[in-house]
Structure 1
Amino acid sequence: MASLIALLEAGTTPWRREWDAAAGGHHVNLLSGRRYRGANPVLLSLGMHLRGSALPYWCGFAEAKALGIFPRKGSKAVHVQRPQVHQRGESRLVEAASGEGSGHAGAGEATACGDAASAGRSWVSYRPVALFNAADLEGEALEGLIQKRRQAEGLAVKPEPERLAAAEAVLSRWPVEVRFGGDRACYLPGPDRIQLPERAAFHSAGALYSTWAHEAIHSTGHSSRLARDLSGGMGADGNGGRAYAREELVAELGTVLLGDRLEIGSAMANHAAYLGHWVELLKESPRVLLQVLGDARRAADLICPEAPESAGACLC
């Protein structure tokens, strides 16, 4: 957390990254190629930034050791969240089939699932799992594994026009009115409307869709949807300022998750005005980052649910 706060104080938003089509873009397991799900792409993007890596490939210590690969001395792991399914009335605990860090809820939260009338009501909790980035590993087999992953990811990547068209389709289907015009991007809770500048005002299509995604995440907080606190505002004091900072962080991280799912990255304009608020928020309550990640994941799921595992789009 100290490293994250230092980056924010220096004016950096370390979870943002451009979409790297050459590497496939998604955070995946180095050995299996399975994609990390839920809120974990934000944690892994942050981990990549902190170690200056350009490789979105990760694996656990035990699986790396089995191939004679080990973390370099002094390397630090990034902790993602692995879901565990609990069955009421049973003593056993089942690891979710999706493996390390697939995550369908925020870190540390428990989610009830299944029919309440059924005999085996269940819920999910999350535990941290340590992963090492490919840039922190060494061993004879490492280079071959990286090249294999690069080749596989490169073959799977969609052409940019196809990815942008898909992003347009997903965001256009979101049932909140969007108006283009003026010089600011915002979500207006009263009329439940998104306002964006004209399309030509954006320096790239990716910037347009990232900004649109940011405002769409805000709109998930409407009282008719996820009912987050949208009462705060820029420059507000006390609870209003904290509510504002928290909601902007939800939108920021939700945009990163949508950018990963839509394969457009998160190339928004840097909202430097928010950084100081986030530093204050994280210093006041370090656990708020994990809570906000849960809110961001739920918001992203409303707009663009993750593809089912059978489609090969997600596991880890």
Structure 2
Amino acid sequence: MFRSSASAARADVYVRITEEIIAAIEHGPGDWRAPWHHNGTSIARPSNLGSGKRYRGINTVALWVAAMNGGYADGLWGTYRQWAAVGAQVRKGERATTVVFWKQFESDGGDALEDDGSGRKRMFARAFSVFNVAQVDGFAPAPVATLPEADRHAHAEDFITNLGIATTFEGSEAYYRPSTDSVHMPPFDCFRDPASFYGVWLHETGHASGAKHRLDRDLSGRFGSASYAAEECCVEILSGLILADLGIAHHPRPDHAAYIASWLKVLKDDPRAIFTAASKAQQAADWMWIQQPQAQELAA
């Protein structure tokens, strides 16, 4: 009984969050938007009121969706109890957003749920309901300091350079070539603004993060295939995560519309697909941060 109820609860979380993401992308005829496109402000970096920590992976995507739909301007979220603990009150009628906390099954050794047969611990997803600061009364968020735009662009330049992925700036197309492990980009002047340039450069180095000698993702898919769409979705989420960290807007690429239909098909065919894409995107984001000098200094 416990096994079936746990599986049903987990499936419900997958379906609920996936349906919300699909609805956000399909918002309005001819106006397909992806929740990982943002303006680079604090709303793009959702954090928890109680812990002060940033949300990660699929939770970030789910909160991007809610912020997009609700028109929120701040990235602070908390449960009903967390808001009550600081003297704030969630307004009556406000709709909660689902986030997921992953935890290992615990047993006394006789529970078959503990191990999946491969020696790995079994995990289960527990859903929590959170509310944005814009949905409560009696709380004033602290102002968020923002670096000047020129400084943010300089940080983005350094961040991508520190990844150590060879880049050639020439021609009119942006792509990653696995055979030479190199990124190819149009020159800076070909882009409408710096945010677009860094967004595309980060997207292509995102593909490079999946090379066999790095994170070993499947990069063999051709355009139109499910594996190609899954990789593009992963890298788009990755770009959104890193650009949010850098305080830079993540604009849709000019070829964005060509990918939307394939993303939607993957999401509709498998409610777990967006969880997998977000998990791989978070893994790639973590890898990118580990390549930065400050991360290496902290490790030392």
Give the shorter-chain TM-score range: 0.7 to 0.9
| Secondary structure of residue in 1 paired with 2:243 | helix
- Tell me how far 1:125 sits from its aligned partner: 6.7
Inter-partner Cα distance in structure 1 for 2:86 and 2:56: 28
Relative to its length, the structure with more helix (as a share) is 2
| Displacement after TM superposition at 1:36 (Å) | 1.1
Cα distance in 2 between the residues matched to 1:78 and 1:24: 15
Cα pair 1:16 1:256 within 8 Å, conserved: yes
- Who is 1:136 aligned against? 135
Alpha-carbon separation, structure 2, partners of 1:172 and 1:71: 44
How far residue 213 of structure 1 moved from its aligned partner, in angstroms, is 0.9
2:33 pairs with 1:12: yes
Partner of 2:206: 217
**Cα distance in 2 between the residues matched to 1:53 and 1:24:** 7
Where do 1:244-255 residues align within 5 Å? 244-255=228-239
- Structure-2 change in CA distance of 1:44 and 1:163 (3 Å): same
CA-atom RMSD, angstroms? Answer: 3.1
Match of 1:116 in 2: none
State the partner residue of 1:293: 278
Partners of 2:172 and 2:250 in 1: how far apart? 20
- Deviation of 1:30 after TM superposition, in Å, equals 4.6
C-alpha separation in 2, matches of 1:169 and 1:279: 34
Contact 2:226 2:262 (C-alpha < 8 Å) held by counterparts? yes
Aligned twin of 1:229:
218
1:41 has 2:60 as partner = yes
Question: CA shift at 1:2, angstroms?
Answer: 2.8
Q: What does 1:257-272 align with in structure 2 at a 5 Å threshold?
A: 257-270=241-254, 271-272=256-257
| Deviation readout 1:210-262 (Å, 9 max, x if unpaired) | 1111111111111112111111122x4xxxx1001100000110111111222
Q: How many residue pairs get matched?
A: 264
Deviations 1:140-196 (A, max 9, x none): x23xx23xx2x2x13xx3222222111111101112210111111111111111111
Within the candidate set 161, 174, 178, 1:172 is matched to 161
Bigger mean CA deviation after superposition, 271-280 or 75-84: 75-84
Per the normalisation by structure 1, the TM-score is 0.73
Instruction: Give the TM-score of the pair, scaled to structure 2.
Output: 0.77
TM-aligned CA distance change 1:45 to 1:200, over 3 Å: same
CA separation of 1:122 and 1:6: change in aligned 2, threshold 3 A:
closer
Give the match's secondary structure for 2:127. strand
Instruction: Note if contact 2:176-2:207 (Cα within 8 Å) is conserved in structure 1.
Output: yes
Alpha-carbon distance in structure 2 between the residues aligned to 1:300 and 1:58: 22
Query: 2:174 is matched by which residue type in structure 1?
Result: A
Q: Secondary structure at the match of 2:176?
A: strand
Structure 1 pair 89–175 and aligned structure 2 pair: CA distance change class (3 A): farther
Secondary structure of the residue aligned to 1:54 is: coil
Counterpart of 1:54, as a letter, is A
- In the alignment, is residue 280 of structure 1 matched against residue 265 of structure 2? yes
Identity across the alignment (%): 28
Report how far residue 4 of structure 1 moved: 2.4
Counterpart residue type for residue 212 of structure 1:
W
Q: Is the 8 A contact 2:43 2:73 kept in 1?
A: no
User: What is aligned with 1:79?
Assistant: 98
Taking a change above 3 Å as real, the CA distance of residues 162 and 298 of structure 1, as seen in their structure-2 partners, is same
Q: Match of 1:163, SS?
A: helix
The answer to whether 1:208 aligns with 2:204 is: no
Query: Which secondary structure state, in structure 2, belongs to the residue aligned with residue 79 of structure 1?
Result: strand
Unaligned runs of 5+ in 1: 91-109, 111-120, 312-316
For structure 2, list consecutive stretches of 5 or more residues without a partner in the other structure. Answer: 1-17, 110-114
1: CA distance, partners of 2:202 / 2:88:
39
Cα distance in 1 for residues equivalent to 2:289 and 2:124? 23
Three-state SS of the structure 2 residue aligned to 1:194 is strand
The higher relative CO (CA closer than 8 Å, separation ≥ 6) is in 1
Shift of 1:87: 8.9
* 8 Å CA contact 1:8, 1:276 repeated in 2: no
CA distance in 2, matches of 1:87, 1:244: 37
In the alignment, the residues of structure 2 paired with residue 178 and residue 87 of structure 1 have an alpha-carbon distance, to the nearest angstrom, of: 47
- Partner of 2:99, secondary structure, is strand
